[in-house]
Chain A
Amino acid sequence: MGVEVTVEGLTKSFGRQLIWGDVSLTLPAGEISVLLGPSGTGKSVFLKTLVGLLKPEAGSIWIRDKDLPKLSEHDLYEVRKLFGVLFQDGALFGSMTLYDNIAFPLREHTKKSEREVRDIVMEKMEMVGLLGAEKKLPGEISGGMRKRAGLARALVLDPEIILFDEPDSGLDPVRTAYLNQLIVDLNQQVEATFLIVTHDINTARTLPDNIGLLYHRHLAMFGPREMLLCSEEPVVRQFLNAQRVGPIGMAEEKDADELAAEAESGQEIPPLPPVPVQLPPSNGLPRRTQRPPGEWCRQNGVTPPPGSFEGVDWTVPDEGTVYSSRYAQPVDGDQDTVTLRRREG
């Protein structure tokens, strides 16, 4: 069962350049959170700060009873064992085969015999669908495979917190869909706390339990998925719906003139699109931390845009496990195949 991460007033600069300031958020234990933001807003820097690779100027990162930025180098190496990190391109060791890459953390940190190592490595490779590629070198495989291998390596020590830096960048839509499914299934199995940095709006809208948006050197908003998808806040609205109308411009934020011109030209802000249902695990059963569609809206008296949740009546509390109308209901037996076929269709 994952670990909660609480960030308070975190500030990071490089020299005189402030990257982001006063970021406070809580990654709830076992939930999937997504961090969004325009390029260069310091999302990767945020992930690196979370694992202690970069030191923040101010603020705390609480994991259990430890405040990460204040830890000694030695304690930091201990706390890092809670983390698994998937770097942007997998960050595999180029001189080792995939098998050795994935076995590396086990050989370094455990006294397991080669037999046990082999069993674990094979299990993780199967999990990410890489069986048969053990002997390949990282240079010989595709980007998507490198990411999956990086994921297998991050999983091998059974981390409580898993950070993903753009797992879907550079992947085609089909691979992205597979990877997202893998992430959801993984969360269902290992129940670790997930934080995913992504640029893919579709991923951000359907995958997570929580969404955060970094913008203009601060955290614009962080909260449950439905809260952000129903939000009227201009920045959040513009980003989550990939619109041109709004405060975010091509370079950074738009200046006052541009905004005035935009208002004058009478460009209509398009209406909020419907809130989609969350991507369910492929066995059809909900994840432990997953909430029924519309629950947050109902509890907070927010009316989602029309057509949300694919027709599920969000106004009545949902007792069952029917979280998605698109996918077959998880009753028994061979539902897996049905959901799979549907997804491919």
Chain B
Amino acid sequence: MANPVTAGLAQAGGFFAFALDTIRAFPRRPFQFRELVQQAWFIASVSILPAALVAIPFGAVISLQLGSLTRQLGAQSFSGAASVLAVVREAGPIVTALIIAGAGASAICADLGARKIREELDAMQVLGIDPIQRLVVPRVIASMFVAVLLNGLVSVVGVAGGYFFNVIMQGGTPGAYLNSFQALGQLADLVSGEIKALCFGAIAALVACYLGMNAKGGPKGVGDAVNQTVVFAFMLLFAVNFIIVAIYFQVVPQKGS
């Protein structure tokens, strides 16, 4: 067990087995609708405000950077398109990932970890209730749902921030901003952003539930699990982001090229 390679592989194997168990438990009745609503509300309440607050400076930074870059390249008229696309395609999902992993997943992990060390989960199993069906499935769905919402929110706030900085601060024209966007943007951009968010929500919640339910060693174990959740969720989300982007450019034909 001391070997870090085997330990890491065992951890990964355990995670995949857990993810499969969760997927198999999706259709099982009775569906925990109340838990789903509560969890969605809970995750939304811890993540919406930070997401909005992060989205504004993020949108601003991107539009400032791209605004000056496009000016240097002599392609000012495209600065609107560039910053909107950057926000919708990348910044939105990335901010969503940051918030979902940092705020949502860590809260889920802390909650389940505390239940684990209080032996609530064991008690549940002894009472004949499967914690995966009862607790994990609603959390995963709630997290996916909130991630999609967050991504929408972040995109809107980011684009608005970008518009503000580009048009008002850097003196771009509103017409050029919107026009250029029409020329390059397409619905697939938003769809791909939302698909990313959906995957991020699912993965972050699965990681959080898995580590929380396997916490051991008292309160310190829960702290460790929360810490690992944030780290692993970030790593996985960025890796998955890369994969989805690679697929996106293969599958969706780009305008103007």
Which residues of A does B touch, CB under 8 Å? 15-16, 48, 51, 53, 77, 80-81, 83, 85, 87-89, 91-94, 104-105, 108-109, 150, 153
Contacts and interface: CB of A to CB of B under 8 A. Distances in A.
A16 B1 contact: yes
Contacts of A83: 126
A91 B1 contact: no
A91 B120 contact: yes
Contact of B122 (A53, A77, A94, A104): A53
A15 B123 CA distance: 24
A80 B126 contact: yes
Given A16-B1, A89-B119, A92-B123, 5 more contacts: A15-B1, A77-B128, A91-B118, A104-B127, A109-B127
Contacts of B115: 94
A153 B123 CA distance: 10
B129 interface: yes
Contacts of A80: 125-128
Contact of A87 (B114, B119, B128): B119
Given A15-B1, A16-B1, A94 B120 contact: yes
Contacts of B114: 94
A77 B119 CA distance: 18
Contacts of A81: 128
Nearest to B114: A94
A51 B119 CA distance: 14
A15 to B, nearest CB: 4
A87 B1 contact: no
B128 A91 contact: no
Interface of B: 1, 114-115, 118-120, 122-130
The 4 A-B pairs of least Cβ separation, nearest first, read A91-B123, A91-B119, A87-B119, A15-B1
Contacts of A94: 114-115, 118, 120
Contacts of B118: 89, 91, 94
A77 B114 CA distance: 24
Given A15-B1, A16-B1, A94-B115, A87 B127 contact: no
B128 A85 contact: no
A85 B126 contact: yes
A48 B122 contact: yes
Contacts of A85: 122-123, 126
A92 B124 CA distance: 9
Contact of A109 (B124, B128, B130): B128
Contacts of B119: 87-89, 91
Contacts of A77: 128, 130
A51 B126 contact: yes
A80 B130 CA distance: 12
B120 A108 contact: no
Contacts of A104: 127
Nearest to B115: A94
A77 B118 CA distance: 21
28 contacts: A15-B1, A48-B122, A53-B122, A53-B125, A53-B126, A77-B130, A80-B126, A80-B128, A81-B128, A85-B123, A85-B126, A87-B119, A89-B118, A91-B120, A91-B123, A92-B120, A92-B123, A93-B120, A93-B123, A93-B124, A94-B114, A94-B118, A94-B120, A105-B127, A108-B128, A108-B129, A109-B128, A153-B123
Contact of B127 (A15, A16, A48, A108): A108
A150 B1 CA distance: 35
A91 B122 contact: yes
Contacts of A48: 122
Nearest to A150: B123
Q: Which of B114, B120, B124 has the most CB of A within 10 A?
A: B120
Nearest to A51: B126
A53 B130 CA distance: 12
A63 B134 CA distance: 28
A54 to B, nearest CB: 10
Q: Which of A87, A89, A91, A94 has the most CB of B within 10 A?
A: A91
A17 B129 CA distance: 30
Contacts of B129: 108
Contacts of A53: 122, 125-126
Contacts of A51: 126
B96 to A, nearest CB: 27
A91 B122 CA distance: 8
A51 B125 CA distance: 9
Nearest to B1: A15
Q: Which of B122, B124, B129 has the most CB of A within 10 A?
A: B122
A87 B121 CA distance: 11
Contacts of B124: 93
A85 B124 CA distance: 10
A104 B120 CA distance: 13
A94 B124 CA distance: 12
A192 to B, nearest CB: 15
A80 B125 CA distance: 9
Nearest to A104: B127
B207 to A, nearest CB: 23
